[in-house]
A = this chain, B = another copy of it.
Amino acid sequence: MADEQVAAPSKQRRITQRGIATRERILEAANRLMSVRGVTATTLDDVREASQTSKSQLYHHFADKQELVRALVKYRGALVLQRERGGLERLRSFSGLVRWRNALVQANSLNNGKYGCGLGSMAVELSDHDEQARSMLSETFAAWEKLISDGLHRMRDSGALRKDADPEKLATGLMAALQGGYLLANAAHNVAPMEVALDMALEHIKSFLVESSGEPTR
């Protein structure tokens, strides 16, 4: 416990940084365990053991499991959005969407479809039991969809997408295809249904491409 407490102002920065590192270590361990076993099946004792922290360290950072789970929702949301910003923030073409699709499919195929999406599986486990977690997850999905719809807006503004394309609805449909694809790939332990799901959504978006824009409409 001593290493987490603030003893004197001169030591504050060092000690606080150590506290931050401990908190991060706990969240990393919780993320790893809960990805594989699920949120409900993972106990605080499992997390303590995996993160090599003491009981007092763990409870210093997270009063109970609910607090840890909510922190993990935030942690995973930040990780996913950071990854997705990398793929979507400069999206301006259909081929950019295909590259984004390929990266997600490739990552999932490395696991043979196992584990699904860290946010989607939390949404299934938590949405009906923890209103605060559900609300954070819902906001994260909205932010993720906005990265997609912003890209589709750029494509529509540049004349690549027809004016009657609805970026918000297309983004929601694409996100549903992605999440449903993760779920079916998880049940099949095979990435194939995720590919089919994403390709169907992309085919639909393709049908809104302007032929003269230089994008491949076939």
Docked CA distance A194–B175 (Å): 11
Stretch from A11-19, A48-56, A92-100, A125-133 at the B interface: A125-133
In which size bucket is the chain A interface? 35 or more
User: With an 8 A cutoff between CB atoms, is A61 at the interface?
Assistant: no
User: How does the 8 Å CB contact mask read for A7-37 relative to B, with 1 for contact and 0 for none?
Assistant: 0000000000000000000000000000011
User: With an 8 A cutoff between CB atoms, is A71 at the interface?
Assistant: no
Smallest CB separation, A111 vs chain B (Å): 9
User: How does the 8 Å CB contact mask read for A49-83 relative to B, with 1 for contact and 0 for none?
Assistant: 00000000000000000000000000000000000
User: With an 8 A cutoff between CB atoms, is A87 at the interface?
Assistant: no
Are A200 and B193 in contact (CB-based, < 8 A)? no
Looking at the complex, which one of B121, B172, B199 makes contact with A184 (CB distance below 8 Å)? B172
Q: Which residues of B contact A188 (CB under 8 A)?
A: 138, 141
Name the residue among A124, A176, A177 with the largest chain B CB count within 10 angstroms.
A176
User: With an 8 A cutoff between CB atoms, is A170 at the interface?
Assistant: yes
User: With an 8 A cutoff between CB atoms, is A201 at the interface?
Assistant: yes
Looking at the complex, which one of B38, B172, B181, B203 makes contact with A176 (CB distance below 8 Å)? B181
Smallest CB separation, A48 vs chain B (Å): 19
Are B183 and A196 in contact (CB-based, < 8 A)? no
Are A176 and B170 in contact (CB-based, < 8 A)? no
Looking at the complex, which one of B137, B186, B204 makes contact with A187 (CB distance below 8 Å)? B137
Are B125 and A187 in contact (CB-based, < 8 A)? no
Given the contacts A38-B125, A125-B125, A184-B172, A177 and B189 also touching, CB distance less than 8 Å:
no
26 cross-chain CB contacts under 8 A: A36-B128, A37-B129, A38-B40, A38-B129, A40-B40, A40-B41, A115-B128, A116-B124, A123-B187, A124-B125, A124-B186, A127-B189, A138-B189, A169-B196, A173-B199, A173-B200, A175-B180, A176-B176, A176-B180, A176-B184, A177-B200, A178-B180, A179-B180, A180-B183, A203-B204, A204-B204
Measuring CB to CB, which residues of chain A are less than 8 angstroms from any residue of chain B? 36-38, 40-41, 114-116, 120-121, 123-125, 127-129, 134, 137-138, 141, 169-170, 172-173, 175-181, 183-184, 186-189, 193-194, 196-197, 199-201, 203-204, 207
